[in-house]
Structure 1
Amino acid sequence: MDINCDLGEGMTNDAELMAKVDSCNIACGGHAGDKQSMLETLRLAKRYGVKAGAHPSFEDKENFGRVVLRVPLNALKSQLIHQIASLNELAKAEGMKLYHVKAHGALYHETAHSREMANILIEAVNFFKEDLCIFVPYGSMLEEEVRRKGIRHWVEVFADRNYDDRLQLLPRSVPNAVINDPKEIKKRVYRMINEKSVITSTRHELNIDFDTICVHGDHPEALEILKELRDIKIKKN
């Protein structure tokens, strides 16, 4: 069970969260983060043996990258390359290798629904020619494109977010989009792992398969959620 978490976003408990995850997505200057925070988060990942990845976004710290910006595509690709490169250079200076790239916020959702945006992210990642894994939303345009192009990827689901009947994340503007009870989240993730299914917001049970589970680092109960998830017993086949 790989658990990933968005870190380096200005929270005060990154060290505690890092100790409980397998992969981390490090903010690299778009929605949050600067050289110092990137360096500190990389060093934490190295200390705890956690796979480090870049977490690029629309360049919009004011809205924490959660608003779609209408940026010319070539400019957006350049911005994403710059963000990933900033983290990559620091990782190499620390004797580390980035494992993956995961888009953040509004950009993440755009790559899920827009083939054009999915390919902008793919092109930005391919610029590095380093076989970086791309974390992709379940059932998304991005998943479709990386599969079609034979690009290394992991399918991601969310522990702390509700899904609709298309297995799309409920928008944060919708009531109950975010799940707050750590014990409820534990039950959901147990079902995801052991039954390969999820209960949607309308109480339908749907099949789901994945490679990694995300807990948002800025969730107020992030640490308690991670403690609960680490206690999950995985059924043996």
Structure 2
Amino acid sequence: MKRSIDLNADLGEGAGHDDELFEFISSANIATGFHAGDSDSMHAAVSAAKKHAVAVGAHPSFFDRENFGRKELQVSNQEVFDAVAYQLGIFQAIASALDVQPNHVKPHGALYNMAVRDENLADAIARAIKSVEPKLILFAPDKSELARAGEAQGLQIAREVFADRNYLNEGWLVPRTRPDALLRDPNEAAERVLRMLREGKVRSVEGRDIDVRGETICVHGDTPGAVEFARKLRSRLERESVRISAPRGSLL
């Protein structure tokens, strides 16, 4: 079984409990203004991460604050490249002003989910990251177009799995439009994560065991009960002697 894993959460999105979540995570994906947040929230989140020795990364999205970046939009690959590069540039500048080195990038919401399946969209994201800072780690699901695009651009990939989301037979996340999208029981989630680490398997909502590979585990910061969820998950992992630590690239 893996003896070290990253625990990440999406922060700076106005959920109101970021300070508490920082106690339990090792990586923070910080909203960069397009779906939530602004320069003040980025500054606050990076400052808090520095205080708690938590690695930080940009959490870029479609420009869609109305739908919290969770609606699939039809945009060109160039628009995606420009949007991601723009958000990374702003985030890098704010972090630099606080003497913090960003460690990773995790696309948000619909941008992430579409890039999992769409090789051209994934390529635009990967190229944008490389153009800003090629040493940043890209968080992406194993065997996804996003992971493949990142590898093709020479980026380091941290394979991501989800503690609080259910899976389809294809290995993708159950859409949030469905009532079974979320896994709300932290104890059940902890056991599922441990199985991922031990066996590389997760049970889909259709009842099939599917292969998964993960170096980082996501807990969504905007989910009700996220703090207690993260606390129980981390406690369970540590009882199994799993060390919680951010993925290390050449920037940390």
- The answer on 1:213 being equivalent to 2:217 is yes
Q: 1:93 to 1:182 in 2, by over 3 A?
A: same
Aligned partner of 1:30 in structure 2 is 34
In structure 1, runs of 5+ residues without a counterpart are none
Deviation of residue 224 (structure 1)? Answer: 1.2
In structure 2, runs of 5+ residues without a counterpart are 243-252
- The answer on 1:137 being equivalent to 2:153 is no
Deviation of residue 11 (structure 1)? Answer: 1.1
Deviations 1:170-206 (A, max 9, x none): 1111221111111111111121122321111122222
Q: Equivalent residues in 2 for 1:129-208 (5 A)?
A: 129-208=133-212
- The answer on 1:86 being equivalent to 2:87 is no
Deviations 1:69-124 (A, max 9, x none): 22232233212111111111010000011101110000001110000000110111
- The answer on 1:18 being equivalent to 2:22 is yes
The TM-score normalised by the length of structure 1 is: 0.95
RMSD: 1.4
Deviation of residue 234 (structure 1)? Answer: 3.2
Separation in structure 2 between the aligned mates of residue 207 and residue 98 of structure 1, nearest angstrom: 30
Structure number with greater CO (CA < 8 Å, separation at least 6) is 2
Specify the code of the residue in structure 2 equivalent to 1:234: E
Deviation of residue 130 (structure 1)? Answer: 4.3
Contact 2:161/2:217 (<8 A) preserved: yes
Q: 1:48 to 1:126 in 2, by over 3 A?
A: same
Q: Secondary structure at the match of 1:127?
A: helix
Aligned length in residues:
236
Aligned partner of 2:132 in structure 1 is 128
Larger displacement relative to structure 2 (194-203 or 82-91): 194-203
Specify the code of the residue in structure 2 equivalent to 1:175: P
Q: Secondary structure at the match of 2:21?
A: helix
Aligned partner of 2:246 in structure 1 is none
Aligned partner of 2:105 in structure 1 is 101
The TM-score normalised by the length of structure 2 is: 0.90
Q: Secondary structure at the match of 1:161?
A: coil
Deviations 1:131-152 (A, max 9, x none): 1111112321111222344321
Separation in structure 1 between the aligned mates of residue 155 and residue 62 of structure 2, nearest angstrom: 23
Deviations 1:157-180 (A, max 9, x none): 100001111111111112211111
Q: Secondary structure at the match of 2:83?
A: helix
Larger displacement relative to structure 2 (24-33 or 184-193): 184-193
% identical aligned pairs: 39
Contact 2:30/2:56 (<8 A) preserved: yes
Contact 1:194/1:234 (<8 A) preserved: no
Equivalent of residue 56 in structure 2, options 52, 56, 66: 52
